[in-house]
Structure 1
Amino acid sequence: MSVFGGPLLEEAEIEELLARFPGFKGPLPEEARLWTEAELELFLASDGRRRPICSLGGDGRIEAVAGLLSRTRLMLAELRIDSASQEYLSYCRHREQRTNLCNLPAVASCSPVQRAREVPGTFLVPVTVVPRRARGVEDPKWQSWGSDFWREHFGMEWCQCRARWPAFEQDATTGIDALSVEAGLWEYLDYMQAVEVADAACLEEQSLAYPRLQVGDFCPFAGLGRRLFQESWREFSPPGVSDLTERWLEFYTSIFEEVDAATRLSEFYRLSFQAPGCVTRLHRENHNAHVWFTQLEGQRLFFLFPPED
């Protein structure tokens, strides 16, 4: 049995399957060699009516979804990568073995992060900020920036889709550590939805059939989204945050005169897009800086560890 990312189907294997379904008279798609044996068998048994999820679609995006998945599978095969990333395999097993995903096997207990209406004045521990919603006051614009928004306005922007993120300096330069695929953002969003339909349960046996890629540092605000950033960036900070980044950047650029302060400031704000099951590697921010995350769509589970650990 072959899987996506494993050896491509050989001509002899395809001929053997064709012989088992003499009633099939249609032509085989070019990408059939990239399918699994089970998927090709399903295609032949249905007389070409049922294709893998990566090839489905009736709104003109068939080639896009199949394209990103096919390119990734082909890269896995060419690079002879026969295993998904350590983080994803660990997550698959974690889901299978535990009903409560917050119970980590190597940690005695996990406590929920405190919730607050705004960031406390003395900020020593992580906090989840749930702002008050005042009557008659409009919600910030960014709250409506879901997948459809980014597809419509920034879908043609290019992004790097990585199997492991963030990348570390000591990572291997070959294998799954180095796997990176360039794609249009709209292409990744279609791929993300296809994976959610085909492998929402994150099954370990499908880890190469639907390889997990994530976009961890998409930054449209310095280019096409510059005007959008200028209109909205002051609403990005959680209530209670005293952010001096703008002042420091004005001081910095006045000395070094590399680029204007507004461009530098926009580069501090990044977007991440992740298919279900994507795992961000355990890391700390450069120079131990503080960081805040805003969830625009979907759900995300964070595990936080104190610096001394």
Structure 2
Amino acid sequence: MQDDKQQGVLRRVLANYSSQYHPTQCVPVNQAGFSGARVWKATTASGEFAVRQWPAEGLHSDRLLGLHQLLHHLRDQHIKWIAPPVTAVSGTTLVDVGSHLWQLEPWMPGAADYLVQPSEAKLSAALRALASWHRAAATFRPSENHRQWFASHDNAASPGIGERLRLVVKWNSKRLDMASRSVEGHAWSEFQAVASQLISAFKSMAPRVADELRMAAGLRFRLQPCLRDVWHDHILFVGEEVTGIIDPSACRSETVAGDIARLVGSLVGDDRRGWETALTAYQSVCRLSIDEWAAVELFDRSGVLLSGMTWVQWIAMEGRPVDDRERVLARMTAILTRLQNIGG
């Protein structure tokens, strides 16, 4: 009965689009994680598409519409591995059905299989694709009501560095004690073991990382639209070719150093040769300044440090349900391994 009701909602959503997008089949896509968005794969006369439902308390509609304009700009700049949303009959790329915002976008082919089948060619292709995305995004000129999220600046402080400093400092001794007690009281024993080590690693590394962030907060960078959450699972391949950079919902103006750190760290971890290959590939398309080079390393260290505590907060302190325990535990363990390597 619930499936029938959901299919009825999906039909109402897709009725907002021309008949070529009306589906013959709509199936839910299993998405592990806490982003809040839900996705269905729709088969239509025009091919396969993703139907995306944004959470009721999700991003502001103006920000989403600005993101859609950016994606269409990227497609106009011949970036083919993105999914600009389809325009509805009403002329908008967002539709409002059942107290949720929805969008329809092309289904991107390929699989996020780098860690299963890694290669230097795939690593280089991923970083060239990211650099091409950045180069095209730097030419985007947002409308006035979208500038707060997507404007470019030649000489400005990095929002991400400031945010990370605030987040590290927010984990004071009192809050860390609360986290430890929440972990100790959690019923999932495997989570307890990894989470306790993540808290211990954070206590050891946080003072040094906070000092580095304070120093970097005074630097000035080129800011432009960046993905801000581009990592292994968001890069699709067919063979050794990138066929999709998906889920750009975190996109906002930032230094490109943040994207490079997030992606390369998720692909090669602490493999220095892998980092060299990745940065060489990126710079074959876009050159980095000395400060951007340094910021890549800081974004990587601070990102790994904070990501472990994010899982602790979500699961132990907020009690969020975990649908795929094996996958979440694997991610937490990978973070712990990186922290141990970084911390020496």
Structure richer in helix, relative to its length: 2
Structure richer in strand, relative to its length: 2
**What is the TM-score of this pair, normalised by structure 2?**
0.28
Larger Rg: 1
